[in-house]
Chains A and B, each alone.
Chain A
Amino acid sequence: MADATMHVNIVASDHPVWSGDAKSVTIPAYSGGMGILPGHEPVLTVIREGDLVVVDPSGARHSFEVTDGFISFDSNKLTVVIESARSISNQKLDESGIG
């Protein structure tokens, strides 16, 4: 599973935030931080305000400050649905295809 990836799609209510492949994602879940790796069991979880970190296949970290919302993971696809998101400390902003 070392080089396995999953598809991540982050959408805010008024615009798509980020989409692409990732090695791991950490979300501010309801009961604390929750890490999601490729092949996770299907889950639908409420998230709180906090920081969401995506690690893409090249090892670069993308951090987002997100408000409340939820995530759903199914068939190796992670969808993050939030009210609004702000990207923070993002070095590879241009290469990651942020719309």
Chain B
Amino acid sequence: MGSQLALKSRIASTGSLEKIFNAQEMIAASHIAQAREVALNAKPYTDAIFDAVQTLVAHTHITHPIAKSNEDNPQVAVLSLTADRGMAGAYTSSILRETEDLLNRLEAKGKKPQLYVYGRRGVTYYKYRNYDLAQTWEGDTEKPGVEVADAISRALMDAYMKPEEEGGVSELYIVYTEFINMVVQKVRVLRMLPVEIVQMEHEEAGPTTSEQAESAMPLYAFEPSLEEVLDVVMPKYVRSRIHECLLEAAASEVACRQNAMHTATENARNLIEDLTRKLNASRQASITQELTEIIGSADALSNKEE
């Protein structure tokens, strides 16, 4: 039975930890709303770009460099999306583990991966291990704006477009956390470049379908020329895909953090309950002991009198 004073101070410190966890949980919950807003605002743009690319695919055969890979170049880029802050459970560590896996797999295939990292935690991890990073970005991992996506895609597109001798890469992989729902998030590896464009089936049913197909198929004008349209649209497409990944990673991060903090709060409460029980038991034990001593001595006194 520990000393009552020690138990009391442990209860007090666990109580303040519980408050911190609880506050963090609430902060994470409020960030979810923000992350959702950023995602909702970016959605129409992403959809519009996607539609345009679908149109291009439907009407032409794309031979843009973004869509075809240069197999001879062994250099590939890996972008790993981590968090800026900790307290998000296994969020960053599972990304880092998956990144290590991917790097090993690529090296086994004879590729030379270059690592790009977004998020302070990931950057610190690799810097501490003296890892050679191609480029890093920090800040706003919880609500990544267009600016960050722009900076990242610019750097990666540059690397992709450069010839091999100047350090250009032939492929781009992104390691990020897919947001399935508030409870489930999954680490995924996505090959972003070269772009694989899959033609979507038109799902719209009804009388408009045949009309649309007729009017859409035969003539579609690309101005000033198909090549220039591709040059404008494809980088934007890649950027919006990267932004999508960032947004999904942000949603996952916030959800991870909320879950982690929820568990931590609950653990702290359980701990406080256990400690309080121990404290009570030890207090009762000491009272019982005092009583026994008093009764014992009273007994001894009355025995003497007899």
Contacts and interface: CB of A to CB of B under 8 A. Distances in A.
A79 B232 CA distance: 15
A70 B232 contact: yes
Interface string A23-40: 000000111000000000
A74 B44 contact: no
A72 B52 contact: yes
Given A45-B229, A74-B216, A75-B215, 12 more contacts: A9-B44, A12-B45, A44-B56, A44-B222, A46-B223, A46-B228, A46-B229, A70-B229, A70-B232, A74-B55, A81-B52, A81-B236
Given A43-B223, A44-B56, A70-B229, A13 B215 contact: no
B49 A42 contact: no
Interface in B29-83: 38, 41-42, 44-45, 48-49, 51-52, 55-56
B223 A42 contact: no
A68 B231 CA distance: 12
B219 interface: yes
A55 interface: no
A70 B243 CA distance: 19
Interface residues of B, number: 31
B110 interface: no
Interface string A60-79: 00000000111010110001
A16 B226 CA distance: 26
Contacts of B228: 30, 46
Interface of A: 9, 11-16, 29-31, 41-46, 68-70, 72, 74-75, 79, 81
Interface of B: 38, 41-42, 44-45, 48-49, 51-52, 55-56, 145-146, 150, 208, 212, 215-216, 219-224, 228-229, 232-233, 236, 240, 243
Nearest to B218: A42
A76 to B, nearest CB: 9
Contacts of B220: 42-44, 74
A49 to B, nearest CB: 13
A42 B213 CA distance: 12
Nearest to A29: B223
6 contacts: A42-B221, A43-B220, A45-B222, A70-B52, A75-B208, A79-B51
Given A15-B41, A81-B49, A81-B52, A75 B212 contact: yes
Contacts of B52: 44, 70, 72, 79, 81
